[in-house]
Amino acid sequence: MLENYFPVFVFVLVGIAFGVMPVLLGWLVAPNRPDSEKLSPYECGFEAFEDARMKFDVRYYLIAIIFILFDLEVAFLVPWATIFKEIVHTESVKWFGFVEMIVFIAILVVGYVYAWVKGALEWE
């Protein structure tokens, strides 16, 4: 019974080795000579001038949420579009596949309109 899991165990070990070995090789081979320039804080090419715990405007988070929303839209639309011909030619799922995607796009449009009405897409 356990011999069936041996290939999985080898696969996990190889995956861990591929992740850990470059880090270990870099730590062993690379020179470690930090100086004051290397250890100084870097922010856009000039010295940091404010506290790192300052509050961000909520619009940054809204833009991130909208990006995730449309990123997921693409993640669902591309596979659907690649098999669209098969969906259309199969009689049993012809309308189901089409209506399913229309409902999905309608939900996304409602989210987009909501963000637009709330002013999340306007930047001052």
Domain total of the chain: 1
Give tens-digit pLDDT for 35-85.
877 777 666 655 666 666 777 677 777 778 778 877 888 888 888 888 888
Flag whether pLDDT at 109 surpasses 90. Answer: no
pTM of the model: 0.47
Lowest-pLDDT choice from 11-15, 104-108, 115-119: 115-119
Query: Which structural domain range is residue 85 located in?
Result: 58-118
> Left if phi > 0, otherwise alpha if psi is -120 to 50, otherwise beta: which for 58?
alpha
| Residue 52 belongs to some domain of the structure | no
Interior angle at CA 116, CA 112 and CA 122, nearest 5: 130
| Residue 39 belongs to some domain of the structure | no
The phi and psi torsions of 43 (rounded to 5 degrees) equal -145, 100
| Residue 92 belongs to some domain of the structure | yes
Higher pLDDT, 99 or 43: 99
On average, the pLDDT of the chain sits at 82
Instruction: Check residue 32 and give its pLDDT.
Output: 83
Instruction: Check residue 22 and give its pLDDT.
Output: 95
